[in-house]
Amino acid sequence: MHHLIHRRNFLRNSSLAGLGLAVAAATRGAEPATPPAVAPAARTGIGPNGTLRVAVIGTNGRGQAHIECLTRIPGTEVVVICDVDDRAVASGLKSVNRRQKTPARGMKDFRKVLEDAAVDAVTIATPDHWHAPMAILALKAGKHVYVEKPCSHNPREGELLEQAVAASGRVLQMGNQRRSFPRLQHAIARIHEGVIGRPYFARAWYNNGRGSIGHGTPTTPPAWLDYDLWQGPAPRRPFRSNLIHYNWHWFWHYGTGEALNNGTHEVDVCRWALGVDWPSRVVSHGGRYQFDDDWETPDTQVIGWDYAGGKSISWEGRSCNSFPTEKLDRGVMIHGTAGSALLDGNNYTFYDSKGKPMETAHEESAADPTNTISASGIGLDQLHFADFVAAIRTGKLNNSPIAEGHKSVAMLHLGNIAWRVGRELHCDPANGRVQDDPGAMKLWGRDYEPGWEPKV
C-alpha cells in the first residue's frame, strides 16, 4: 500500500521538527603563528534562561550560514567574528549586526577568541587542515565546539578529537547536519525496523560540474590576508594564485578532496542506515580526468567499503560531470532483502522488492522549515545547530557525537589513502587502522609546522 506522509502529520510526530519550528519562529534579530597556551575555561553553568555566547571562526563561506542559524536560536548570541581575511571579518560583522541587536566584535587571530572568557562556544568553518587542531585547542580552552565536516584532515586527528572531548567534558558537534533532519531520522528508524528487510548494501553519489582551477603561480599574499596564520598547522608553502579561498579543497596539503568535501554527508547516512562501524576492506579507483591543471585530488572517484556481517557501502563522486544519478545530483540508495530506500536529503521513498513505492515523504513547499532546499543556512541546518545548543544547555547527547562523526570521516580518509597508495586496504574492524601496510599507515597522520602539532 502506498503511503504519502504529509508535512503536517509528520511534524506532529517529530520532536526534533517541533524544535525546528520553535527555532524558526524566533526573532532574529597579526601575530606570529604559534599555538596559544591553555586559556581560562569558559562559563560552565549556562542555565535554561542564560545567553549562550558564540564566536564564529571563518566567514568566507559556510560561516555565513553559521551566523544565520545561530542568530535565529533563542538565547544564543554571536559575540565575535573571527577570520584571517579582513574582508571576511567585515562581511561577518555586517551579517551579525543585521540579524541581532547586540553588535559583535571582530578578531583576526582565533587565539584571542580562545583567551576570551566571554565566549562560551565557537563554531569552525575554516579550511579542513584547521578543523581538528583548532577544535582541540578550543576544547582545551573550555569552549564548546561546532566544527564543519570533515572533523579532521586525517584519521589520527579524529582519534585526538575523541580524546579531547573526553578530557574537556565539552560538547563537540560536527556539521553532518543530516543527522538532525527529522524525516531522515524517521526513515532510518523504519529501515532499522525492517521496512526493506535486512539492509546489506548502501550506495551514495555526488555529481557537480566544477571548472578547471588552471595553473597557479607563486605570488605575494594579498594585504587583506594573514597567510601565515591561514596555513597554521600545515608546513609552510609559498602562496599560490589559485589556492584561496576555495581551491585548497583539491590540494592534499590543505584539503581532502570531494570525498570529504561532499561525500561525508551521504556516506555518513549510509553507515547510519546499515548500522556499521569500521570496515574490514577498502578499495578506491579514479583520477583527475576532466582537466589538466593543478588539481591534485580525484575529480572522479569510486570508493568501496566491506563490513563484517555481509554489508557493503560504495560512494561515487564526479566533481566535473553533473549528469544526475537516480535523477538526483546527490543521494543515497539502501538495498535490503525485501526492498530498497531512496534517501534524498530530508526526503525518502521506500520500494518493495519489485520496485513499487510503499511509502514516501517529501517537502511540500519552500515555506516548510524542514525542507531540503534550505540546507545552506536556514531550515534544516538550523535544527543541527539547535541540537548543538540544546546539548550544551541540557547535557543530553547531541545528534552527532564525535565517536560517530570520526568513524564516517575516517571511512573517507581510508578511501583517499587507498587511492593514493594504489591498492586495497585491509583494516582492523575494531578501530579502522590499516593492517600490514606501513606505507598506507604513513597517511594515517600528517606532518605539522613545528610548534603546531595537535596535543590533548
Residue owning grid cell 581510508 = 414
The H or E element that residue 105 is part of is strand 105-107
At 364 the pLDDT is 60
Instruction: Tell me what pLDDT residue 21 has.
Output: 34
State how far the Cα of 204 lies from the Cα of 343, in Å rounded to an integer.
9
Q: Say how far apart CA 452 and CA 434 lie, in whole Å.
A: 26
Asked if residue 231 and residue 109 are part of one domain, the reply reads no
pLDDT at 373: 37
The answer to whether residues 25 and 168 belong to one domain is yes
For 307-364, the DSSP string reads: ETTTEEEEEEEETB----BTTBSEEEEEEETTEEEEEETTEEEEEETTS-EEEEE---
Q: Would you state the pLDDT for residue 379? A: 79
Task: Residue 155: give its domain's CATH number.
Answer: 3.40.50.720
Instruction: Tell me the C-alpha distance between 80 and 89, whole Å.
Output: 9
Residue 201, domain extent: 179-372+399-444
CATH number at residue 238: 3.30.360.10
Whether 138 and 248 map to the same domain: the answer is no
Residues 123 and 230 in one domain: no
The answer to the question of residue 348 being in a domain is yes
Per the structure, the count of domains in the chain is 2
Q: What is the pLDDT of residue 382?
A: 94
* Cβ(81)–Cβ(105) below 8 Å: yes
Q: Using one digit for the tens of pLDDT, what is the confidence trace for 101-146?
A: 999 999 999 999 999 999 999 999 999 999 999 999 999 999 999 9
Last residue of a domain, one of 134, 158, 177: 177
| Residue 31 domain flag | yes
Indicate yes or no: pTM above 0.85.
yes
Q: Does one domain contain both 159 and 225?
A: no
Query: Taking the chain, what is the end-to-end CA distance rounded to the nearest angstrom?
Result: 54
Confirm whether 2 is domain-assigned.
no
Cβ–Cβ under 8 Å, residues 75 and 386: no
How far is 18 from 24, CA to CA, in rounded Å?
A: 10
384 lies in some domain: no
pLDDT value of residue 121: 98
Are residues 77 and 156 both part of a single domain?
Answer: yes
Is there a single domain that holds both residue 173 and residue 185? no
Q: Which segments of the chain have a pLDDT < 50?
A: 1-43, 47, 365-377
Residue 10 belongs to a domain: no
Q: Is 11 part of any domain?
A: no
Where are the alpha helices (H) located in 29-85, listed in sequence order? 62-70
Domain boundary among 116, 148, 177: 177
| The domain boundary residue, chosen from 162, 177, 192 | 177
Q: Would 241 be classed as within a structural domain? A: yes
Residue 76 lies in a domain: yes
Neighbours of 309 (CB within 10 A): 10
- The CA distance from 328 to 393, in Å, is 38
Quick one: cell of 16?
526534533
Same domain, residue pair 119 and 184: no
